[in-house]
Structure 1
Amino acid sequence: MKSFLNIFCVALVISSCGQKIIHKVDNTTTKQPNIIFIMADDHATQAISPYGHPISKLAPTPNIYRIATKGALFKSNFCTNSIYGPSRALVLTGKFSHVNGFRMHGDKFDGNQQTFPKLLQKAGYNTGIIGKWHLDGLPQGFNYWKILTDQGNYYNPDVIRENENTKRIDTTRIEGYVTDIITDDAIKYLDNIKNNAMHETNLSGKVLAEWEVQRYLQEYLATIAAVNEGVGKILNFLDAIYYHYNDHPAFHMVKKCMV
């Protein structure tokens, strides 16, 4: 039985990394921004920390709160169609449901119509969608896509994607929790675009050396963060079973001198 809150997270990832995209506004040259659109199904405002509802305090959402504090928080917005698939059709096309043709599940979404990912592609963006699609047909207007079948499953979901070598449409079952899978795939996609962008810039000399050092430091600090996370899990486990009254786990770090 599925829970009340459908927490499939759809990450629509659009990046201009590596693209030399510039346009002039009032005789000034600017670079196109990178865009990441994250959409969660059935996520009530009462369950999101920025809105301050008592329910949100039971399971705080600090990372979503970060977005609100650094951006805009909508308090008087309205949705013309809140059903899963039709709501995505609204976002993609910017049209009312009776105009884009996908009013309810059972209708067929016309993927040939104009959508904002197609317009972004024309502007030079590398576009991708990862997660729940739930529209009849396959995504169009995306350089990369990896979508769930139908509504998808919370655990061990079936994923549809185009095989890069054969160009055939493959369906694969991936083990794990669906939100974690989607998040990890989105990060891999972004990281791949970033790396391609760095290669395309043809770095050399001092600039290349600085980038390599930054890359190494990033990976090193990531391992430290992972150790910290592991220690936290152990301490939380001990606290949960009340061993903290008697046991005092010691953590030793071996310092390395690097020349």
Structure 2
Amino acid sequence: MIEEFTIEGRNAVLEAFRSGKTIDKLYVQKGVQDGPIQSIIREAKKKDTIINFVERERLDQMSEEGHHQGVIAHAAAYEYAEVEDMLKAAEEKGEPPFLFLLDGIEDPHNLGAIIRTANLAGAHGVIIPKRRAVGLTATVAKTSAGALNYTPVAKVTNLTATMEELKEKGMWFVCADMEGETMYRMNLKGPIGLVIGSEGSGVSRLVKENCDMIASIPMKGDIDSLNASVAAGVLAYEIVRQRLG
């Protein structure tokens, strides 16, 4: 299953080349010749990518985000991974599986930030649902700061069914919710799936019922919730801390 996207911005484009992603076409603003652009052009020539030098107006029209910094790449379609591959990757590394499951994240900036966190926390993959959730758009790719090239993302029809299959393979699930027990009192070791709910309504009832534990993040402030990607980061690093033992 494949989704095509454009990659915008110097760091994102350079990272895509360096990770070995297939770039079909590169569009560079005419007359821009500074160091970062030269590095991108060098990488493109190494990979035999078609390079088009175009006016800034053309890039502005192509841009989905308005932050192209004089360079846009058309990546070969991004391919979704299989959940099975994530478990294999964990096995090859000799680590208990650590997966992120996202229940209805609709904001591409949040999804990109969560994929970036998953990569840095050493998770073996991210699972997203097909419906009522954002897919892998250009904004997601850019916000992930290159992590999308390294951390596999699987798209599944039914999150609860996927959880049930993974439970049979020995995984257990913790979800973030205000009503849960403080995360510092929990044992979060072993093969684990971290479930993060949508920005507005949190984890849906069915998914929550399928979780083995419900963890809350201690809050001291005057507002009652964290942004989804920040909550994912806080919980993921408690899991990392416990894994490091």
Using the size of structure 1 for normalisation, the TM-score is: 0.29
Higher relative contact order structure (alpha carbons within 8 Å, sequence separation ≥ 6): 2
Using the size of structure 2 for normalisation, the TM-score is: 0.30
Higher strand share: 2
Larger radius of gyration: 1
